[in-house]
Amino acid sequence: MGFRYDISFAGAVCENRKPETGNRFSRLLWRECDETGVSLPLLAPPTISGGKQLSLENALMSFLFSPATLGPLKLNNRLVMAPMTRSRADGNIPGSMVAEYYEQRSGAGLIITEGTAPSPNGLGYPRIPGIYSCEQTHAWTNVARAVHSRSGKIFLQIMHCGRIAHPANMPEGARILAPSPVAASGEMYTDSDGMKPHPVPEEMTAEDIRDTIEEYAQAARSAFIVGFDGVELHGANGYLIEQFIRPNTNLRTDGYGGTIEKRARFMLETVEAVAGAIGSERVGIRLSPFGVFNDMPLYDAMEDEYGYLARELDKTGLAYIHLVDHSSMGAPVVPDSIKDTFRREFKGALILSGGYDAERAESDLQAKRCDLVAVGRPFIANPDLVERWKTGAPQNEPDMSTAYSPGPKGYIDYSTMEG
Ligand SMILES: Cc1cc2nc3c(=O)[nH]c(=O)nc-3n(C[C@H](O)[C@H](O)[C@H](O)COP(=O)(O)O)c2cc1C
How much distance in Å is there from the Cα of 234 to the middle of ligand 1? Answer: 12
Pocket test for ligand 1, best of 84, 326, 375 (most atoms within 8 A of CB): 84
* CA angle in degrees (0–180, nearest 5) for 65-380-159: 95
Q: What per-residue confidence (pLDDT) applies to 128?
A: 98
Which pLDDT value is given to residue 419? 82
pLDDT computed for residue 267 by the predictor: 99
Contact between residue 289 and residue 308 where contact means Cβ atoms under 8 Å apart:
no
CA 229 and chain centroid, separation: 12
Are the C-beta atoms of 154 and 144 separated by less than 8 Å?
A: yes
DSSP label at 310?
H
In tens, the pLDDT along 9-66 reads: 333 333 332 333 333 333 334 334 344 333 323 322 222 222 222 234 433 344 899 9
3-state SS, residue 402: helix
Residue 43, pLDDT score: 24
Q: Is the CB of 373 under 6 A from ligand 1?
A: no
CB within 8 A of 139, min separation 6: which ones?
A: 93, 94, 95, 98, 99, 129
| Contact call for residues 30 and 11 (beta carbons, < 8 A) | no
Average pLDDT of span 153-163: 98
Asked if residue 343 has its Cβ within 6 Å of ligand 1, the reply is no
Res 70 pLDDT > 70: yes
How large is the average pLDDT for residues 350-370? 96
What sign does the CA torsion over 361, 362, 368, 371 have? positive
Catalytic residues: 239
The closest of 333, 349, 414, 338 to 377, measured between CA atoms, is 414
The CATH number of 50-402, from 3.20.20.70, 3.30.710.10, 1.10.600.10, 3.40.640.10, is: 3.20.20.70
**Angle (CA) 200 260 278, round 5°:** 85
H/E element holding 265?
Answer: helix 265-278
pLDDT, position 87: 98
Contact 197, 141 (CB under 8 A): no
Number of H helices, E strands in the chain: 14, 14
Nearest CA to ligand 1 atom 5: 84
Q: Among 10-14, 81-85, 241-245, which stretch is predicted with the lowest mean pLDDT? A: 10-14
Its sign, for the CA torsion 60, 65, 71, 72, is: negative
Cα separation of 366 and 107, whole Å?
21
Residue scoring higher pLDDT (297 or 38): 297
Average confidence (pLDDT) over 299-318: 98
> In the structure, what pLDDT confidence band is assigned to residue 6 with cuts at 50, 70 and 90?
very low
Indicate whether residue 157 lines ligand 1 (CB < 6 A).
yes
How is the chain split into domains, by residue range?
Answer: 50-402
CA 76 to chain CA centroid, nearest Å? 20
Specify whether the CB–CB gap between 336 and 367 falls below 8 A.
Answer: no
The answer to whether residues 325 and 352 touch, using CB atoms and an 8 Å cutoff, is yes
Nearest CA, atom 15, ligand 1: 84
Percent of the chain at pLDDT > 70 equals 85
pLDDT band at residue 397 using 50, 70 and 90 as cut-offs: very high
Q: What is the DSSP letter of 117?
A: B
Give the pLDDT band (50/70/90) at residue 122: very high
pTM, rounded to two decimals: 0.88
